[in-house]
A and B are shown apart, each in its own frame.
Chain A
Amino acid sequence: MDLFVQLFAAAMASGTPLLLAALGGILIERSGIIQLGVEGMMLMGAIVACLTFLRTESLALALLAVFAVSAVLGLLHAFLTVSLRANQIVSGLAMTLFGAGLSAYLGKPVSGIPMPGAVPKLYLPWLENVPAAGGLFANLDMLTWFSFILVLAMHLFIHRTSWGLHLRAIGDNPATADVMGIRVQAFRYGCVTVGSMLIGLAGADLLLAFSPTWIEGMTAGRGWIAVALIIFARWNPIRALLCAYFFGMLDTLGFRIQLLGSEIPSYFLKMIPYLVTILVLMVLGWRSRNKPSGAPEALGVPYIREQRL
């Protein structure tokens, strides 16, 4: 039992960056824009958080800086894909390559400097004695709590607000949304920007809370797993939570198995999340032959208003 709680706590810790990134991605893709730059944006979020925190020792300032930089990157992606109608796939790839390069460039001087305890933990003594839940929730950091709130907020936003309705309409049928008086392009700009801020936050969480030392390319494909998570979660925030923890579990599983004294080399255990991602995608692909995948209908298609002659 204790082992299970430990395992789950570890899964939550390593799943939270995945969750935040997937939530940002869901917001962006729900509006009909593909975002493949998650990996690069997470790296940028991590390095900006690292640099700001080392200089100011302030979590708030670090997060503020992360939000600002991610918003700028998001606006860049939005400008390319929404205004210029550039290929969304290539724009995302550029974001990943640029983010990886720039973060490595900026991070050179701070590489390897540890910075533990950046994110304060919320200590709930009254929970401590509750079995299972105590071990999981009594001493969680603020960003994890924030991610819980975010899942709920996003779910309510999508299903219970007028903007959420607009979002769903734009992602599925921008032409109809346009006819109904919704400003498609402006709305997409907003979604891409806010979603990118969440992805940046995911990077910051990875660095500040999960593995508090900057290492070049430290996301190690987590951004891409987050992209796959969006598909697994069928663009639904609550499912994203479950999927993120599942992958967080896989991520820590290799480490755990090693602790148990397994003979399998750690390299092969580390492959598990990547291989499971491909397998799950294949299963989903097989299923979606006669069932909708839940993807927004207009995902990846630039919206060009019909010329009124």
Chain B
Amino acid sequence: MNEGYTVEMKQIVKQFGSVLANDRVDFRARAGEIHALLGENGAGKSTMMCMLSGVYRPTGGGIYLHGRQAGIRSPKDAMKLGVGMIFQSFRLVQSLTATENIILGESSPFWRGRGWMKTKLEEIRSLADRFGLAFPVDRPVWELSVGEQQRVEIVKTLYRGADIVILDEPTSVLTPGEAEQLFATLAHMKSEGKTVIITTHKLKEVMAVSDRISVMRKGRMIASMAKSETTERELARLMIGKQIPAARPAQARSIGKPLLTVKHLDVYAEHGRKALGDLSLQVNEGEIVGVAGVAGNGQKELAESLAGLRSWKRGTVAFDGMTFKTASVRAAMEAGISHVPENRMRSGLAGSLGIVDNLLFKSYRSPERSTLGFMRTARNRAWAQTLVEQFDVRTPGLDTPVRQLSGGNQQKLLFAREISRDPKLMVAVHPTQGLDIGAAQGVHRLLVELRETGRGVLLISEDLDEVLQLSNRILVIFGGAIVYETKGCEADRERIGLYMAGLTEEGEAV
């Protein structure tokens, strides 16, 4: 075994159903270094780290810690071996205090009087101070800021004796100032001889903080090098890949009049977080507008606002000659906006109902589907049958609960429902997420068909290849606003990648 490597993952294969998330990936990290695992969303980097921390078990390959094969079967096992992971969504109990969260797994002693608690508070405060992690140790977690919660997570990991600390996209939830503080902490942990691994897609922070960089793309390890050997541009190229998408969109010939015009939209998400700020965009008839961006930059809120599910504080949404004053699902539906939501089983389909009922979701009010309050059952079944055939939904029968269908067939069903309503505009959010290649191509064909028949499509996706392949125009969303726009035929992958990561061409933060 190679000396000096605290973590070695060899020929790791991970398969979820028919999806291959990791394909024979090698990864190594040393003590006393900050190792950045770089890659786009879906590149397989988080999956790798989840296997290291025992959340998933690899389909194939071996994990070695300090040169010895490690049988990691659960997060508990990993913790015993000194591996701790800080997830993007924190594993904290909101109603407990920071200290209580940190000592949660500890079994002794039974009685915990004020004195005992005081010594614990001191112990944790001093541990936190040692790594420059300031947070109120005796406040409930829900009162803490996201940055503070992350510090609680880090201290929890350190308290439980981790010497290999993994942070999954640690800066995705932080303000720039908090990120700076985090980097200082990471440096401190490094100097104490810990192995620090961060997964990220942000080039700037990779260059700022890491010692070594491994780049993953599409489930494969592309390259691994010291920071001094590389540049941001080279990393962007490695991360995004250079290949030109096969099919470029047909050009302007059929683009028609403006369909959707959004101006200066301000939208607030839960807990008063600003999700969209001064966002403007336009979609014309007969074009696919791709919105590229990293998750959590306002894509979900944008789609929900257009579908009438989320109200906006400021700005205008004009569609096909009318202006929406307030968010209303019915109004959006009747105006001809279709919405393929992000999470199909949660908000798009009713898993326990059959095909017919799921197809009727939005059209059951129309006179073709129901009359005088009665559903036209026989007619609707025949209609569902033609849709199933037309969209090639593979199902044992029309009454099969849709949760028993494969992901691809569920998505076909959703598209069948939305397209059957003859929409003027289709808002599709991550439409190929979790689908295999064949199913994804089917979805792409449907989107292109919509464009060819003169409809507008707003394609919101984290898959840059998908956006590049289909879009007439490409917008990049970052921090709740459109920061870049380009024609599909002139699109430069690398440049888009930089904007998605919050960088301009000059390497400055937007």
Q: A–B direct touch, CB within 8 Å, in complex?
A: yes
In this assembly, does A87 line the interface, its C-beta being within 8 Å of a C-beta of chain B?
Answer: no
Interface residues on A, range: 20 to 34
Q: Mark A169-184, 1 if CB is under 8 A from B, else 0.
A: 1001101110111100
| Cβ < 8 Å to A, chain B residues 71-124 | 73-76, 91-96, 100, 103-113
* B91 in contact with A308 (CB, 8 Å): no
In this assembly, does B57 line the interface, its C-beta being within 8 Å of a C-beta of chain A?
Answer: yes
A153 to chain B, nearest CB (A): 12
* A161 in contact with B112 (CB, 8 Å): yes
In this assembly, does B383 line the interface, its C-beta being within 8 Å of a C-beta of chain A?
Answer: no
* B55 in contact with A308 (CB, 8 Å): yes
Q: List the A side residues contacting B108 at CB < 8 Å.
A: 162
* A181 in contact with B94 (CB, 8 Å): no
* B110 in contact with A162 (CB, 8 Å): yes
In this assembly, does A160 line the interface, its C-beta being within 8 Å of a C-beta of chain B?
Answer: yes
A179's nearest neighbour on chain B, judged by CB, is B75
* A179 in contact with B57 (CB, 8 Å): no
Per the bound structure, the CA–CA distance linking A180 and B79 in Å amounts to: 9
* A308 in contact with B56 (CB, 8 Å): yes
In this assembly, does A146 line the interface, its C-beta being within 8 Å of a C-beta of chain B?
Answer: no
* B95 in contact with A168 (CB, 8 Å): yes
A154 to chain B, nearest CB (A): 15
**Also in contact, A173 and B106, with CB within 8 A (given A165-B100, A308-B56):** no
In this assembly, does B374 line the interface, its C-beta being within 8 Å of a C-beta of chain A?
Answer: no
Per the bound structure, the CA–CA distance linking A56 and B105 in Å amounts to: 46
Q: List the B side residues contacting A308 at CB < 8 Å.
A: 55-57, 73-74
* B111 in contact with A160 (CB, 8 Å): yes
In this assembly, does A145 line the interface, its C-beta being within 8 Å of a C-beta of chain B?
Answer: no
Q: List the B side residues contacting A128 at CB < 8 Å.
A: none
In this assembly, does A163 line the interface, its C-beta being within 8 Å of a C-beta of chain B?
Answer: yes
Q: List the A side residues contacting B73 at CB < 8 Å.
A: 308
Main secondary structure of the interface of B (DSSP, over half): loop
In this assembly, does A297 line the interface, its C-beta being within 8 Å of a C-beta of chain B?
Answer: yes
Q: How many residues of B contact A (CB 8 A)?
A: 26
| Cβ < 8 Å to B, chain A residues 140-160 | 160
* B110 in contact with A161 (CB, 8 Å): yes
B57's nearest neighbour on chain A, judged by CB, is A308
* B110 in contact with A165 (CB, 8 Å): no
B2 to chain A, nearest CB (A): 29
B113's nearest neighbour on chain A, judged by CB, is A160
**Also in contact, A162 and B107, with CB within 8 A (given A168-B96, A172-B93):** yes
**Also in contact, A165 and B111, with CB within 8 A (given A172-B96, A308-B55, A309-B56):** no
B351 to chain A, nearest CB (A): 15
B91's nearest neighbour on chain A, judged by CB, is A176
From the candidates B16, B76, B94, B111, name the one contacting A161 in the complex (CB within 8 A).
B111
Per the bound structure, the CA–CA distance linking A182 and B92 in Å amounts to: 14
Q: Mark A7-41, 1 if CB is under 8 A from B, else 0.
A: 00000000000000000000000000000000000
* A181 in contact with B105 (CB, 8 Å): yes
**Also in contact, A169 and B93, with CB within 8 A (given A180-B104, A308-B55):** yes
Q: List the B side residues contacting A172 at CB < 8 Å.
A: 93-96
Per the bound structure, the CA–CA distance linking A11 and B197 in Å amounts to: 62
Per the bound structure, the CA–CA distance linking A163 and B100 in Å amounts to: 12
Per the bound structure, the CA–CA distance linking A161 and B106 in Å amounts to: 12
Q: Mark A291-309, 1 if CB is under 8 A from B, else 0.
A: 0000001000000000011
* A176 in contact with B93 (CB, 8 Å): yes
B258 to chain A, nearest CB (A): 40
A190 to chain B, nearest CB (A): 14
Q: List the A side residues contacting B93 at CB < 8 Å.
A: 168-169, 172-173, 176-177
Q: Mark B51-83, 1 if CB is under 8 A from A, else 0.
A: 000011100000000000000011110000000
* A162 in contact with B106 (CB, 8 Å): yes
B102's nearest neighbour on chain A, judged by CB, is A180
Q: List the B side residues contacting A177 at CB < 8 Å.
A: 93, 104
From the candidates A163, A175, A180, A297, name the one contacting B105 in the complex (CB within 8 A).
A180
Q: List the A side residues contacting B96 at CB < 8 Å.
A: 165, 168-169, 172
A212 to chain B, nearest CB (A): 38
Q: List the A side residues contacting B92 at CB < 8 Å.
A: 173, 176
Q: Mark B309-333, 1 if CB is under 8 A from A, else 0.
A: 0000000000000000000000000
Chain B residues within 8 Å of A, Cβ to Cβ: 16, 55-57, 73-76, 91-96, 100, 103-113
Query: Can you give 23 A-B contacts (C-beta < 8 A)?
Result: A162-B107, A165-B100, A165-B104, A168-B93, A168-B96, A168-B100, A169-B96, A172-B93, A172-B94, A172-B95, A173-B94, A175-B91, A176-B92, A176-B93, A177-B104, A179-B76, A180-B105, A181-B105, A297-B94, A308-B56, A308-B57, A309-B16, A309-B56
For the complex of A and B, the 6 pairs showing the least CB-CB separation, nearest first, are A180-B105, A173-B93, A176-B91, A180-B104, A181-B105, A169-B93
* 6 other A-B residue contacts (CB within 8 Å) besides A165-B96, A166-B104: A173-B94, A179-B75, A180-B105, A181-B76, A297-B94, A309-B57
